[in-house]
Structure 1
Amino acid sequence: MTDLVLEWMSFRRSGKIADLSAVLTAGANSRRAVDDLVTLGHAERIGTDGWRVAPPVLAGLPGGAVASAVLCGTRTPALLQSLDTASAAEGAEIELVRQGAGPSIIAVKASSADLLAQVALAAGLPLQREAGLHMLACTPSVSQWPRTPFPMVEGKVDSVRRFSRSRMQWVPSTLPEAAAAASGLFRIKRDWDWISLLKNGPAAASLIDDRVGRLASSAKCKAVQWMPESSVLSLPVQLYPPTIMARGLVLCSGRLPDFDRDTMRISFAGIRPGHLKLFLALTGLRLQ
């Protein structure tokens, strides 16, 4: 499904999420399909309901016995033919891997980093070496993430929730509790929208991205698991990172994270020690 969506978006170049018809997405959620493509580096979000396809690029995966990179960005038949021709001419291999919730992974595998660079040059594509590591290195830490001072909401509201760091989920709260809290993340539903407020003291609150706020309120929690033998990092689904950070983790393997409904955890593949160290430094989370 998302292979077709990505090809359609590549020709359309930009548009609104509502432009994706149910026929095109095979009845799947259009916003989820676009969000997955954004996380994989194929597109960017514009505002609340717009998208723009990203330029094509070969995103280098962590080094190993074989130099490899995944194709990100726009994906047209002509571009795929060019990459296939360049790979065959240089003696590299193209591997196509299906993934359930996202478009197929198209990976170029070569015997050396220099050969991989020659394939990229022949195909007319930029090559970003160690794409995941570089993206994580350029991501602001949660403690430095942009936030906007905002007065505490007053009057009647429809709903108030607090993020519980011990339970890793939203729990019911009240406006007086939010106003008196010295710390914590609160989601408040006003007449026309939801806002996320991070408390910095009884009289100080800031608007913040919801995903960043959950990470900020969970600082120093032992919530991260890492399996060195499989290079898999997992964390509670409520601590799903903001898009740019999630993209950095995803580009360590080219795969969307796996979701385990039984444990309510998400897992990212291809996470090496350097990636793990950066992720922990950016989020303030700790290993279990």
Structure 2
Amino acid sequence: MTDAALKWMSFRRSGKIADLGADLTGGSPRRVLDDLVTLGHAEITVAGGWRVAPPVLAGLPREVGSSAVLCGARTPALLESLGRASDASGGQISVFQQSAAPAVITVTAPSRDALVHLAESAGLPFQTEAGLHLLACSPSIREWPRTPFPMVEGKVDSVRRFSKSRMRWVASTLSEATAAAKGFFRIKRDWDWVSLLKSGPGSASLIDDRAGRLATAAKCKAARWSREGGVLSLPAQLYPPTVMARGLVLCSGYLPSFDREAMQISFAGVQPEHLRLILALTGLRLQ
């Protein structure tokens, strides 16, 4: 179903989230779009919009050989061109269907030079070590954009605090949020939610939810990494901001797996250099 959504978006090129009906996504349009953005197929624009990303071959880590995944727009003509270029360059194309996400199309060539030539023959840009470069260009959580914001006052519908000891949201109060020297709070007003990171009793800033949770969890021994398969596991509530998540996804081309019972997400193909970067960016430590 999401393959159809990506194909439709590739021809449409841009639109509103509301345009992605259930007949295209088979579920939540926002969730499907978030996954497409993480996979490098689309970008979110202002005012609830999206645009499909230009097609590109995103190089996987050198440790896995001369391989790349196809990101961005995906049309039948593009796939035919890629197939012809692969045949001419002695390459191989593999297609693996993800659950509730577009198929992962991986291109493998006899050598790195052959892979670059294959991309040129197909008329596609080639990004060397795409995941590593994305992580290297990402701001750290310490430097993540935040906007000073006055503490909410008056009647509110709900207040939650992110607990780093439990790695989940817990019930709180406005008075606790106001008095807190540090902490990350989600406050529901009559018309919206605000996410406030406290750095002092009188200092609060708006920040992206994912970045705020990671800022709160800084220095926690919350990450696990297995050298075999390069599997990086994190608490589900510490899902990184999109640019970091995309960098990790492009270590393999696959969305992270989710263990509902353990409430853990796992990224595959994470090499030591990616691990060092993501730990430095997030401030997390290995268990």
Q: TM-score, normalised by structure 1?
A: 0.98
Aligned equivalent of 2:122? 123
Aligned equivalent of 2:214? 215
What residue identity is the alignment partner of 1:170? W
2:192 is equivalent to residue 193 of structure 1: yes
Aligned equivalent of 1:10? 10
Residues 90-169 of structure 1 mapped to structure 2, 5 A cutoff: 90-169=89-168
C-alpha change, 1:247 and 1:48, in structure 2 (3 Å) is farther
Displacement of 1:48 in angstroms is 5.0
Displacement of 1:23 in angstroms is 1.6
Displacement of 1:110 in angstroms is 0.8
CA distance in structure 1 between the aligned counterparts of 2:256 and 2:147, rounded to whole angstroms: 30
CA distance in structure 2 between the aligned counterparts of 1:65 and 1:151, rounded to whole angstroms: 49
CA distance in structure 1 between the aligned counterparts of 2:176 and 2:63, rounded to whole angstroms: 52
Deviations 1:96-142 (A, max 9, x none): 11111210011110111000000001001000000000000000000
Displacement of 1:163 in angstroms is 0.2
Displacement of 1:29 in angstroms is 1.1
What residue identity is the alignment partner of 2:24? L
Q: TM-score, normalised by structure 2?
A: 0.99
Aligned equivalent of 2:265? 266
Aligned equivalent of 2:204? 205
Displacement of 1:64 in angstroms is 3.0
Runs of 4+ off more than 2 Å: none
User: What are structure 2's unaligned runs of at least 5 residues?
Assistant: none
Displacement of 1:65 in angstroms is 5.9
User: What are structure 1's unaligned runs of at least 5 residues?
Assistant: none
Residues 66-105 of structure 1 mapped to structure 2, 5 A cutoff: 66-105=65-104
What residue identity is the alignment partner of 1:114? D
Displacement of 1:155 in angstroms is 0.7
Give the SS at the match of 1:64. Answer: helix
Residues 9-48 of structure 1 mapped to structure 2, 5 A cutoff: 9-26=9-26, 28-48=27-47
Give the SS at the match of 1:230. Answer: helix
What residue identity is the alignment partner of 2:14? S
CA distance in structure 2 between the aligned counterparts of 1:217 and 1:242, rounded to whole angstroms: 14
C-alpha change, 1:6 and 1:125, in structure 2 (3 Å) is same
CA distance in structure 2 between the aligned counterparts of 1:36 and 1:24, rounded to whole angstroms: 14
**RMSD in angstroms over aligned alpha carbons?**
0.8
What residue identity is the alignment partner of 2:149? F
CA distance in structure 2 between the aligned counterparts of 1:231 and 1:130, rounded to whole angstroms: 16
Identity of aligned residues (%): 70
Displacement of 1:230 in angstroms is 1.9
C-alpha change, 1:166 and 1:48, in structure 2 (3 Å) is farther
